[in-house]
């Protein structure tokens, strides 16, 4: 069933676990994620970056693919189809009009006032259509969709202001995590995470979930994180398996065998994260 993320994240916040957000890039990965989450009976958020949306053909193609897989595979768990880092109102509108059930509007590189203005515009459009909205405050840096940027940590007052003025459903405060690989140990501000969580009713989102040691992930969940985004670690697990397959068989050419050679490693990584996040109830 395609749903927005409100019910799953409110439950996660109340019961101190996190819902996984995995990024999708193609039919195979979407199928693997749905099959694994159905097997483990956990809700899931499928994240689609702008680059991935372009790669897959567009928002209608993705909605059709996800709905078709849910139907054909007999998926019964709640599935949220979510725009990851939508850069404008227009992008979010396009996805919502095509049937996405959730969007992240990321105006975090703009001044707070402008971030709030754009986010509110998205919230007004989305909420009228039953679509949930996530927004970012501060700036989560690192490398995402081949774009690299610096980290700016979120301040509590900014978080309060954006939540109160826009009515967003989830907040991604930048608190030291980065997209892609970390240089050295991640340095997350857990104290501020806890304070933001205790001050605000909205569930918190942790971006850059790859490469954070398990004990820090557990601490983030204890400090109120209810949604954790993972992309790079899954990509690395899949591509490593495919590379091994291709170097062991230099005659392989069937795309189903090539892409499928990463399925086992991909699914193992998905299960590892779900168990770590405590999503299995
Ligand atoms: P990683 O690629 O670091 O796992 O981050 C994913 C993410 O935050 C997507 O929004």
CA of 249 relative to ligand 1 center, distance in Å: 32
pLDDT reading at 141 higher than 90: no
52-106 pLDDT, tens digit each: 999 999 999 999 999 999 999 999 999 999 999 999 999 999 999 999 999 999 9
pLDDT reading at 134 higher than 90: yes
Ligand 1 pocket mutation, candidates 229, 234, 277, criterion most atoms within 8 A of CB: 229
213-250: buried (b, 16+ CB within 10 Å) or exposed (e) per residue? eeebbebbbebbbbbbbbbbbbbebbeebbeebeeeee
Segment 230-253 shows an average pLDDT of 98
Q: Quick one: pLDDT at residue 148?
A: 85
Q: What CATH number is given for 6-276 in this structure? A: 3.20.20.70
Segment 171-192 shows an average pLDDT of 94
Chain-centre distance for alpha carbon 102: 11
- Please say whether the beta carbons of 211 and 233 come within 8 A: yes
Nearest-atom number in ligand 1 for the CA of 211 is 3
What residues are in contact with ligand 1 under a 6 Å CB criterion?
23, 47, 84, 179-180, 207-210, 229-233
Segment 201-228 shows an average pLDDT of 97
Segment 26-41 shows an average pLDDT of 98
């Amino acid at each position: 069933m395609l749903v927005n993320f409100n019910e799953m994240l409110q439950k996660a916040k109340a019961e101190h676990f996190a819902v996984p957000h995995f990024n999708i890039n193609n039919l195979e990965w979407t199928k693997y994620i749905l099959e694994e989450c159905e097997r483990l009976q956990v809700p899931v958020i499928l994240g689609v970056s702008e680059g991935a949306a372009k790669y897959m053909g567009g928002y209608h193609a993705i909605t059709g693919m996800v709905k078709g897989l849910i139907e054909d595979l007999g998926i019964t768990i709640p599935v949220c189809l979510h725009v990851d880092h939508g850069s404008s109102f227009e992008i979010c509108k396009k996805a919502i009009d095509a049937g996405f059930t959730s969007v992240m509007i990321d105006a975090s590189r703009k001044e707070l006032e402008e971030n709030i203005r754009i986010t509110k515009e998205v919230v007004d459009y989305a909420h009228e259509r039953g679509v949930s909205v996530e927004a970012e405050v501060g700036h989560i840096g690192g490398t995402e969709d081949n774009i690299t940027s610096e980290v700016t940590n979120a301040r509590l007052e900014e978080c309060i202001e954006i939540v109160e003025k826009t009515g967003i459903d989830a907040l991604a405060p930048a608190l030291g995590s980065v997209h892609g690989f970390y240089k050295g140990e991640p340095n997350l501000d857990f104290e501020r995470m806890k304070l933001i969580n205790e001050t605000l009713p909205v569930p918190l989102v942790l971006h850059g979930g790859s490469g954070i040691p398990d004990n820090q992930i557990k601490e983030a969940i204890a400090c109120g994180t209810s949604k954790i985004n993972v992309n790079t670690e899954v990509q690395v697990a899949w591509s490593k398996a495919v590379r091994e397959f291709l170097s062991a068989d230099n005659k392989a050419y069937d795309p189903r065998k090539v892409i499928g050679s990463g399925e086992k490693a991909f699914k193992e990584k998905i299960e590892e994260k779900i168990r770590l996040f405590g999503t299995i109830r």
